[in-house]
Amino acid sequence: MNRDYVVSSNIASVGYDEATETLEVEFINSAIYQYYNVPINIYESLMRESSKGQFLHAYIKNIYPYSRV
């Protein structure tokens, strides 16, 4: 999955596959997580947010199933 680099103190890059509704997040520490069944509007909101880490924690983490890649 292609990811776009983002400006964040915690997140290095973010990718999204619309067909499978999979959000992929690469953290600064090189850990990569995939979050499943994430609607496109959540991905778009994440990308618009100035604090991507806070948005991820509030609206994605512990809400959508995930796995470490």
The pLDDT tens digits of the residues spanning 17-27 come to: 999 999 999 99
pTM of the model: 0.95
Please report, for the chain, the start and end positions of each structural domain, with discontinuous segments joined by +: 4-68
Place of tokens 């915690």: 10
Average pLDDT of span 4-18: 97
List, in sequence order, every beta strand (DSSP E) within the chain: 4-5, 11-17, 22-27, 32-35, 66-68
